[in-house]
Each structure stands twice: as structure tokens, then as C-alpha cells.
Amino acid sequence: MTKDNQQLLSSYTLPNGVELKNRMVMAPMTNFSSNPDGTVTDAEVNYYARRSAGVSMVVTACTNVTRNGQGFPGEFAAYSDDFIPSLTQLATAIKKQGAKAILQIFHGGRMCPPDLVDGDVVSASAIPAEGDDKPIPRALSEKEVDDMIEAFGEATRRAIEAGYDGVEIHGANTYLIQQFFSPHSNRREDRFGGSLEKRMTFPLAIVEKVKNVIEKYAKESFIVGYRFSPEEPETPGITMDQTLAFVDKLSDQGVDYLHVSLQDFHSTPRRGVEDLDKTRIDYLLETINGRVPLIGVGSIYTAEDANSAFNTGVPLLALGRELIIDPDWVQKVTEGKEDTIVTTINKNNQEQLVIPDPLWNAIINTPGWFPGV
């Protein structure tokens, strides 16, 4: 094993004192494979178990905190105590393989397909997403926003009861929390909208609620993370400087990690900052300034890619598609067999890779999503 790879596999202690066995995390990825009633399937549990032995933490696919928050078909739910046995099944399978189990909690907001939420598509404001045939959402009332914050707290309590090691608040990828932060989707004139600071109110309130629930129901070792997207292409939309202001605030909220959502780890900003050649990761690390660990992600296929990313100063790295393609990625690095890491999907290996049918069909029928397709 090279010295660089030893760094990847070294332990890391989160702000709350939890020690992670290495620096590699499984990124949250939608798998479309839950039951229609919102419970996990055996195929889904097996898929996670197959990928949980090498990494230090597994962040699950997003789970909806209210009935009208479902963003995808085949998504498992966390909006009622009835789902605690289902949630427990998944947490148990991940932890049994030696990884920390992190439940990603979210609401799809205006991105929810109407047929999945009985037509009740909601958001910060009645502004549809850009694109053809996007539904016009209903703006949540102030009371409904307060209720939504409570729903994130209740989902956290269920995660605690189900035996998870932590939750990740999903404030990225255009979903409801991001919709409140975005000037595109949030045109409110109450305490939840208007200025940049007011657009932070909803996500920061969720962080506070989740932390309060953890303090009440969990041990100090329970992990809370926050995922965010750095920019939006829309005008108006989130710009890099707005995200840096938000990340500066988030870094003082007592979370255990921040998790940026990127397709390419080394990508550069669109707008909003002076130097557009400096990477988003570099800007984020500079702003965070060591206050909280940042998880980097984005097309890290080989050990060489991982070491290049790690050398920027990011303390933790997430693997998404890479662990679907090669579930033994971390083990191969551990054994000094990094040259045998598979970096393109093998279309004949679904069974060996333990990938549920709905996810497999999505991969095979979406050219360009995975290398090799």
C-alpha cells in the first residue's frame, strides 16, 4: 500500500468525538427500489449490505419526512412511526458490515412528481422549476413551514429509534430545503424569504430542530451532517458567493460534517466569485477554515483520483457511482490491489454487483450516467 493510500485509510474523528475507521464514505444515491408502501425491500437491504464493509459511513438514499415529500418512485419513507421497523432493517444491515449508518432526510418540494403526492406539490413559493410541464407548486403557509421543521425533527427521532448512527439533512440537489435558500424558488416576503439571511432561516431552523431532538433522544455520539449544492444554473439562482456566506454560517451550527454535492470534485464556480479558475472545493475549504469537516465527492473513480482529491485538504471523500460499479473499492485499496478497481459498469454483472432491478434498469437506460453505458 502506498503512503497516499494509507492516508485515505487512516481514521478520522468527527467533532462529536466519533471515530471513523477511514476517510471514505458511501454517497447518498436514489435507488428507486423500495416497496410502493414506503418500506424497504430485501433487494435494497442487500444492495446496501454489499457496499457497507469497506467504507466508514454509509449515507442512505433520501427518505421523505412528510407524505407529500416523496421525490421518486420506489423511495423509502420516514414520515410515520409505522416505518421504524423498515428503517431499522436498513440500519442494521449497514452497521452489521462495520459502517456507520446515516439516514438522509429530505422533502422533494416542487420536484415531487404530482402522482406520487396526490397532486399536493409544495414549495417556498408558487414558482415552478424551469423546464417543460413542470407543476406550479403551492406555497407553504408560515404554519406549514413550522410544521415542516417539526417533521424533520420527528424523522430524526425515528432514525434514533431505528438505530441509525446519524442523519444527513438533504439541503442539496434542488429539493425543498434548497428551494427555501434559492432566490429562484423563494420569493416569500415573510420571515422565511427576502434577503439572503432570511432565505437561510428555514435550513438553519431545521439544523436547530434536529440538534434539539438529538439532545433529547440520542447519545452524544449521534452524527448530524448537512448536504448542499454550491450553485444553480437559473437566473436568479444560488451563486457561489451566496453559498459561501451560508457555509460560513453553517460551520458555526455544531454539525459534524458538511457534504457538498458535485458531479466533478475539481469543478470551478459559474459566477459570484472573483477567481473562476479556483475550484469550488478550494473556496469551501477556505471559508470553513477547519471549523467542520467537509466531505468532497464527484467522479472519484480510482485510488489516484481519491488521492488527488484528498491532497486538496478535504478530510473525507464520498464515493457514489464508484461503489455501484465496484462494491469492493475500499477493500481493494486496503489490500494494495487498487490497480484492480473496476471503473466502468459491466452490463452482465447485475447479480454479482447486487443491484436491484429498478436501479439496474435506470442505469442501463440512462446513457452517460455511468461509465460503460
Residue 13, C-beta contacts closer than 8 angstroms, at least 6 positions apart: 19, 20
Residue 370 maps to a domain: no
Spatial separation of the C-alpha atoms in residues 331 and 278, rounded to whole Å = 33
Residue 342 maps to a domain: yes
We report the CATH number of the domain holding residue 355 as: 3.20.20.70
Residue 103 maps to a domain: yes
Residue 369 maps to a domain: no
Residue 179, C-beta contacts closer than 8 angstroms, at least 6 positions apart: 109, 110, 123, 124, 185, 186
Strands (E), the chain: 12-13, 19-20, 24-26, 57-64, 100-106, 122-123, 138-139, 166-171, 223-228, 257-260, 294-297, 316-319
Single pTM value for the model = 0.98
Q: Please list the residues that pair with 63 across neighbouring strands.
A: 105
Residue 137 maps to a domain: yes
Please tell me the total count of domains within the chain. Answer: 1
Angle subtended at Cα 372 by Cα 369 and Cα 373, rounded to the nearest 5 degrees: 55
Residue 372 maps to a domain: no
Residue 47 maps to a domain: yes
Per-residue pLDDT of the chain (373 residues; tens, 9 = 90+): 577 799 999 999 999 999 999 999 999 999 999 999 999 999 999 999 999 999 999 999 999 999 999 999 999 999 999 999 999 999 999 999 999 999 999 999 999 999 999 999 999 999 999 999 999 999 999 999 999 999 999 999 999 999 999 999 999 999 999 999 999 999 999 999 999 999 999 999 999 999 999 999 999 999 999 999 999 999 999 999 999 999 999 999 999 999 999 999 999 999 999 999 999 999 999 999 999 999 999 999 999 999 999 999 999 999 999 999 999 999 999 999 999 999 999 999 999 999 999 999 999 999 999 999 9
Domain that holds residue 71: 3-364
Residue 92 maps to a domain: yes
